Amino acid sequence: DVSQPLDTDFYRVFADVPAEDREAWRRARGFVDEIWPTINEAWEDAEYPFSRVRRMGELGLLNDGVEGPGLRTLSPLAAGLVTMEVSRGDGSLGTIIAIQGGLALRTIALHASQEQKERWLVPVERAEVITAFALTEPGHGSDSVALETTAVRDGDSWVINGTKKWIGHGLNGDLTIVWARVPEGEVRAFFVPQDTPGYSAELITGKVALRSVHQTRITFDDVRVPLDNVLPGANSFKDTSRVLYATRLGVAWSALGHAIACYEAALNYAQQRIQFGRPLAQSQMVQERLTQMLSDVTSMQLHCMHLATLDTRGELDPVMASMAKYTCTRKARAVASIARDMMGANGILLENHVIRHLVDMEAVHTYEGTESIQALLIGRRVTGESAFA
Ligand code: FAD
């Protein structure tokens, strides 16, 4: 019951969450309860959870705080709590919030024309239009600023050529927002319906993290879209970065959800598992490890809560979101690793709900800017020196 502070909320960080935000949190928890029995099976089978994504759309959970006409905007705190709660259940669905309700929805809200917003925002938020955000390329991940996909005007069309990799929702969806370079050298964004001739996508297989969300490699081979498929507000890579910065905070909340799930599982296990004639929980070393995990969880909660407050006040600096992502993904990886070890062999079984979070965290740690890239962004701020290249 989210009206009560969670057992994991040691400092009562969330005790005063306003009623409206608590309601969104409750909806997210209710959704996780619905899907809980089959999360592991869906992960193991690497099934894309279309019906669950639609359900999240219906419930208003597919918006990480994006504002726009007709949207059911969640406050920064509510959006964070929803991402945390969904990721506590299933990190693949947490990632889908980041793709559909963060990267794609926010690109439209920040950079689309009024007409484009009216056409796309609501259907994307409701998951009626499954949408991809295609930035990363096989040769450009951390340095996506150097992307090579091109868009050239030809008569009344833009013609797009290039390859993208790691793109969630690139296959079997409806719409891809693709970032491409125009002849003048700047990076711009384009709406490409996935059934456009020349658009082809293949599933990336053999993936051992976030198995229920599909990533793809997309080829654009003379893909033609009308001139008004360009997003007029996206005129340089700085505009891409505005989307990435804003969505990064959601990744910190997601890491918190993963860490809470692992802590809860480890605590429960330590109380049940008898070795040397007593529960593991009676061992000093086990208590110290639980303390270490809870200390990390508490620190993540404070980070996320404080940044939600700054965001609400309009005082969130992008580099703060980098610090939150850096801190929370590091801590969540550490918590997941301790939890897995504390459960012995049982820690590697999906049914015990830790190994899935542990491997999912490996992807969360990498996407939306790796730990090292966040460190370079913070380092540039504190030293005044860019160390990227
Ligand atoms: P690289 O850039 O090749 O980095 C490899 C290593 O080198 C990393 O440890 C990195 O930190 C380090 N490194 C790189 N440069 C430096 C440097 N200057 N100094 C020190 N260390 C450095 N992209 C999209 O556009 N859309 C999506 O929907 C999407 N979804 C994703 C989903 C998943 C599950 C994953 C794993 C990725 C997704 N991505 C997506 C791509 C993601 O954003 C990139 O993987 C990420 O930016 C890192 O790029 P890379 O994998 O090419 O690693």
Ligand 1 centre and the CA of 326: distance in Å? 14
Question: Rounded CA gap, 9 and 142, in Å?
Answer: 34
Asked if residues 256 and 300 have their Cβ atoms less than 8 Å apart, the reply is: yes
Question: Rounded CA gap, 319 and 302, in Å?
Answer: 17
| Whether residue 210 has its Cβ less than 6 Å from ligand 1 | yes
Amino acid in position 144: S
What confidence score (pLDDT) does residue 16 get? 93
For 163, the 3-state DSSP assignment is: strand
What confidence score (pLDDT) does residue 1 get? 52
ipTM over 0.95? The verdict is yes
Each residue's pLDDT, cut to its tens digit, for the chain (389 residues) gives 555 555 799 999 999 999 999 999 999 999 999 999 999 999 999 989 999 999 999 999 999 999 999 999 999 999 999 999 999 999 999 999 999 999 999 999 999 999 999 999 999 999 999 999 999 999 999 999 999 999 999 999 999 999 999 999 999 999 999 999 999 999 999 999 999 999 999 999 999 999 999 999 999 999 999 999 999 999 999 999 999 998 999 999 999 999 999 999 999 999 999 999 999 999 999 999 999 999 999 999 999 999 999 999 999 999 999 999 999 999 999 999 999 999 999 999 999 999 999 999 999 999 999 999 999 999 999 999 999 99
Phi/psi of residue 29, nearest 5 degrees: -65, -40
Q: Spell out the alpha helix ranges (H) of the chain.
A: 19-35, 39-44, 50-58, 76-89, 91-96, 105-111, 114-125, 237-272, 284-312, 318-342, 355-366, 371-383
| Whether residue 257 has its Cβ less than 6 Å from ligand 1 | no
- Nearest ligand 1 atom to alpha carbon 207: 34
- Nearest ligand 1 atom to alpha carbon 209: 34
Name the token pair of 78.
């509510």
All residues at 6 or more sequence positions from 257 whose CB lies less than 8 Å from its CB, including other chains: 83, 84, 85, 86, 87, 88, 89, 91, 94
Name the token pair of 334.
């550490």
What confidence score (pLDDT) does residue 7 get? 78
CA separation (Å) from 226 to 104, 191, 302? 20, 9, 47
Question: Rounded CA gap, 147 and 181, in Å?
Answer: 7
- Nearest ligand 1 atom to alpha carbon 136: 25
What confidence score (pLDDT) does residue 5 get? 54
Ligand 1 centre and the CA of 289: distance in Å? 31
What confidence score (pLDDT) does residue 2 get? 55
What confidence score (pLDDT) does residue 123 get? 98
Asked if residues 293 and 127 have their Cβ atoms less than 8 Å apart, the reply is: no
For 134, the 3-state DSSP assignment is: strand
Best probe residue, ligand 1, of 166, 190, 240, 364 (max atoms within 8 Å of C-beta): 166
| Whether residue 233 has its Cβ less than 6 Å from ligand 1 | no
Ligand 1 centre and the CA of 140: distance in Å? 8
